[in-house]
Amino acid sequence: MSPPSADHDRTARPGTTVRTLILGSTSRYRRELLTRLTIPFEVASPEVDETPLPGEAPAQLALRLALAKARAVAANFPHAVVIGSDQVADLNGLPLGKPGSHERAVAQLHQMHGQTVIFQTAVAVVCAESGFEQVELAAVKVKFRELNDDEIEIYLRIEQPYDCAGSAKSEGLGIALLESIESDDPTALVGLPLIRTCRMLRAAGIALLATSGARP
């Protein structure tokens, strides 16, 4: 686990409990996004098997894995509030994961060019000690441009998005591959829907906008 990312007042209001906040993910993208909330948190690897179940729809896969990741970390740190998240690219019901290699990324972008892909991004918040558990899904509709072989090759060589579901970073040069993005939670496509995350953290007792209170 990493040290807290910021130093804030940890004084709890009477009758409240100060809980550590843990991001149950080793994703550097999710870590950067959570840092935007300016609250201290730690990071732990959830060690969850991400293999899809037979016939499992992309949205259900994302929801199941987000909750499994949060529960896995919460089991080791029952006093903490734990965030788990997962993203699955959904191409006409076909789940697309992280490519992991240049060749697989080329194949994914060939599959997706000219298509509309739904990026199913789930986030779960769990506290084992209090019994709190919530999970939500943010669906981001992304329309890819018609892409030629040279564009795909140039993009992948420059950005190397092999650890990204769908083989493209919308926050970087990958935006040049797209026609449009539709979402009600702007950071969901990057990997962590912060509007939904904030809503669940408040429900779990984390005071996000307070100089004192139940902040981790």
Average pLDDT, the chain: 89
Indicate whether 213 pLDDT > 70.
no
Indicate whether 15 pLDDT > 80.
no
Residues 91 and 143: their CA atoms lie apart, in Å, by: 11
Q: Are 62 and 137 in contact (CB under 8 A)?
A: yes
Phi–psi pair at 163, nearest 5 degrees: -105, 20
Residue extents of the structural domains in the chain: 21-203
Four-way CATH pick for 21-203: 3.40.50.1100, 3.40.1130.10, 3.90.950.10, 3.50.50.60: 3.90.950.10
Catalytic residue among 86, 149, 150, 163: 86
Q: Which helix (H) or strand (E) holds 155?
A: helix 149-159
Per-residue model confidence as pLDDT tens digits over 149-158: 999 999 999 9
Q: Is 185 a catalytic residue?
A: no
What band does 17 get if pLDDT is binned at 50, 70 and 90? Answer: low
Indicate whether 137 pLDDT > 60.
yes
Per-residue model confidence as pLDDT tens digits over 79-94: 999 999 999 999 999 9
Tokens, residue 41: 């948190």
Q: Are 183 and 138 in contact (CB under 8 A)?
A: yes
pLDDT at 8: 32
